[in-house]
């Protein structure tokens, strides 16, 4: 019979109270080890995958990478939760700056367009083109022939015409044909006026007559005179002794050689201009002129303007000097013309330049009996013009604008002053 050796038990179980307690102890150790390993792997995975979990695909992170591409991506996503607010604030600030920039750009562009269009519209309203502006010389002549004694054949425009259109301020004036003396005065006057000239000359010669041909021969040398390079000369055959100074100035202005700005010079050309007058005048004006301007430094009211004061105005200005006066007087006709301009513009501005004018009337001298009649006709004309101006401002509707009310009140006051001045012998 073989000897039997007892089985050696593991040390781990030898000291245990029972086999069941050994199993429970072993199982618990396995659970503890498993738990520990689970915790360790979770921490490692958390540390490895933390950039992915804490970096959601949103606009903030995209902008961060776009604005700062030189910074590594891992740095962009560190401490995302801590810096999320600051980055959102930065993005909002950038958006606000972009919005402000776009708003300022849009507003500036819209404001510029508005001011530019308004200025263009204002200029169109201020300077209304005259219908004569679009007529040829023949068409203009047909329109005014009814106002000339003898019809259109009594008026010869452009006896002299410059080779090039006028540039600058065109002087509009008129004179009588007094032989060579009138030509000498013209050359003397033009020597102080280097700009264009539109001159209406009245003559007693009959069209196509021998004296008329002789006059044309005397005019011919003026074409080559250095002081008259910008001269446009027009002839009116006037057989009667009466003249219409306002009509002559209107014709000189109407047939000016394409000038945008003209100076109406109502005095006789024997009044020589001061030296450097043209350059001083041009330097103080913004050409082309938009409104009538008096060339004088002595203006306090419409009734204190020196006699025969020149006026600067646009050639196509809608107001023309009235030709109602029958008395051939430069001074009287011009007073009515300036008064009319003052009324139309609600007062006139002036250019601060002194022009010495001899107020002697070089048109037909008026008799003592005709002057009172001329004054009464002038008063009637001004009263009718005032009435028309007030009717034009007073609309048919019961309500008018504040601007129209102010203009209407100005017209009423001005017309009352006109009436008072006439009663006191101021006209």
Shared domain check, 71 and 210? no
Higher pLDDT among residues 172 and 83, named by residue: 172
Domain presence at residue 22: no
Q: What is the DSSP string of 41-57?
A: HHHHHHHHHHHHHT---
Q: Which of 72, 104, 126 is a domain's end point?
A: 126
pLDDT at 63: 56
pLDDT at 58: 55
Mean pLDDT value across residues 148-161: 79
Q: Which of 95, 126, 157 is a domain's end point?
A: 126
Domain presence at residue 347: no
Higher pLDDT among residues 46 and 178, named by residue: 178
Mean pLDDT value across residues 83-108: 80
Check the CA dihedral 365-187-202-205 and report its sign.
Answer: positive
Q: Which of 257, 289, 323 is a domain's end point?
A: 323
| CATH code, domain carrying 153 | 3.90.550
> Are 421 and 304 contacting, i.e. CB atoms less than 8 angstroms apart?
no
Let me know the angle formed at the C-alpha of 29 by 26 and 30, rounded to the nearest 5 degrees.
90
pLDDT at 106 over 80: yes
Residue 402 — pLDDT band, cuts 50, 70, 90? confident
Shared domain check, 75 and 139? no
Domain presence at residue 367: no
Locate 304 and state its tokens: 């204190």
Shared domain check, 107 and 201? no
pLDDT at 396 over 70: no
DSSP bridge pairs for 197? 171, 231
pLDDT at 94 over 60: yes
Shared domain check, 73 and 192? no
Length of the chain measured in residues: 427
DSSP bridge pairs for 169? 261
Domain presence at residue 20: no
Mean pLDDT value across residues 162-172: 87
Share of the chain above pLDDT 70, in %: 65
Shared domain check, 241 and 96? no
Domain presence at residue 423: no
Q: What is the pLDDT of residues 184-227, one digit of tens each?
A: 999 999 999 999 999 999 999 998 899 999 999 999 999 999 99
Give the chain's mean pLDDT. 76
pLDDT at 2 over 50: no
Phi, psi of 171 (to 5 degrees): -85, 125
Domain presence at residue 330: no
Most confident of 136-145, 161-170, 185-194: 185-194
Shared domain check, 250 and 218? yes
Share of the chain above pLDDT 90, in %: 29
Shared domain check, 281 and 186? yes
pLDDT at 21: 43
Mean pLDDT value across residues 268-296: 88
Domain count, the chain: 2
Shared domain check, 144 and 97? no
Pairwise CA distance, residues 38 & 296, whole Å = 107
Q: Answer whether 0.85 is exceeded by the pTM.
A: no
Mean pLDDT value across residues 120-147: 58
- By residue range, what is the domain housing residue 253? 134-299+309-323
Mean pLDDT value across residues 355-368: 62
Domain presence at residue 420: no
Mean pLDDT value across residues 365-375: 68
Shared domain check, 242 and 158? yes
Instruction: Say which DSSP state 31 is in.
Output: H
> Are 386 and 343 contacting, i.e. CB atoms less than 8 angstroms apart?
yes
Mean pLDDT value across residues 282-306: 86
Domain presence at residue 389: no
Q: What is the pLDDT of residues 310-328, one digit of tens each?
A: 999 999 898 999 887 666 6
Shared domain check, 285 and 191? yes
Shared domain check, 262 and 210? yes
Residue 332 — pLDDT band, cuts 50, 70, 90? confident
pLDDT at 36: 44
Could you tell me the strand order of the sheet in which 293-295 lies?
155-160, 231-237, 197-203, 169-176, 261-264, 311-314, 293-295, 349-351
Mean pLDDT value across residues 67-94: 62
Shared domain check, 258 and 115? no
Residue 361 — pLDDT band, cuts 50, 70, 90? low
pLDDT at 274 over 70: yes
Higher pLDDT among residues 29 and 335, named by residue: 335
Ranges of beta strands (E only) in 89-183 are 155-160, 169-176
pLDDT at 23 over 70: no
pLDDT at 199: 97
CA–chain centroid gap for 272, Å, is 35
Q: What is the pLDDT of residues 250-267, one digit of tens each?
A: 999 999 887 789 999 999
Mean pLDDT value across residues 391-416: 82
């Amino acid at each position: 019979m073989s000897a039997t050796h007892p089985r050696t038990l593991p040390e781990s179980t030898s000291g245990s109270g029972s086999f069941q307690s050994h199993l429970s102890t072993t199982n618990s150790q396995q659970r503890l080890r498993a738990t520990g390993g689970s915790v360790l792997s979770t921490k490692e995975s958390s540390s490895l995958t933390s950039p992915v979990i804490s970096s959601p695909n949103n606009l903030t992170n995209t902008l961060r990478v776009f604005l700062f591409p030189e910074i590594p991506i891992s740095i962009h996503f560190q401490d995302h939760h801590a810096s999320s607010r600051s980055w959102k604030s930065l993005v909002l600030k950038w958006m606000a700056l972009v919005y402000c920039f776009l708003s300022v750009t849009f507003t500036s562009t819209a404001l510029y367009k508005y001011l530019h269009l308004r200025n263009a519209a204002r200029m169109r309203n201020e300077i209304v083109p005259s219908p004569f502006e679009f007529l040829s010389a023949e068409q203009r002549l047909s329109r005014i022939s009814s106002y000339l004694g003898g019809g259109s054949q009594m008026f010869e425009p452009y006896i002299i015409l410059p080779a090039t259109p006028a540039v600058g301020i065109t002087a509009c004036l008129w004179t009588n044909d007094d032989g060579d003396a009138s030509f000498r005065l013209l050359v003397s006057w033009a020597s102080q006026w280097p700009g264009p000239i539109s001159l209406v000359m009245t003559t007693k010669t009959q069209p196509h007559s021998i004296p008329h041909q002789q006059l044309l021969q005397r005019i011919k040398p003026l074409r080559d005179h250095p002081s008259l390079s910008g001269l446009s000369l027009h002839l009116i055959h006037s057989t009667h002794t009466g003249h219409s100074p306002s009509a002559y100035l209107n014709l000189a202005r109407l047939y000016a050689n394409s000038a945008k700005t003209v100076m109406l010079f109502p005095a006789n050309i024997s009044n020589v201009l001061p030296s450097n007058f043209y350059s001083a005048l041009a330097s103080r004006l913004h050409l082309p002129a938009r409104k009538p301007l008096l060339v004088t430094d002595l203006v306090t009211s419409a009734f204190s303007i020196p006699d025969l004061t020149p006026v600067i105005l646009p050639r196509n200005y809608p107001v023309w000097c009235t030709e109602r006066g029958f008395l051939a007087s430069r001074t009287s006709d011009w007073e009515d013309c300036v008064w009319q301009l003052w009324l139309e513009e609600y007062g006139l501005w002036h250019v601060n330049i002194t022009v010495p004018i001899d107020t002697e009337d070089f048109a037909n001298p008026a008799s003592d009996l005709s002057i009172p009649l001329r004054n009464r006709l002038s008063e009637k004309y001004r009263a009718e013009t005032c009435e028309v101006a007030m009717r034009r401002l007073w609309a048919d509707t019961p309500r008018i604008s504040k601007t129209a009310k102010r203009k209407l009140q100005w017209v009423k006051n001005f017309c009352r002053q006109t009436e008072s001045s006439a009663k006191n012998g101021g006209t």
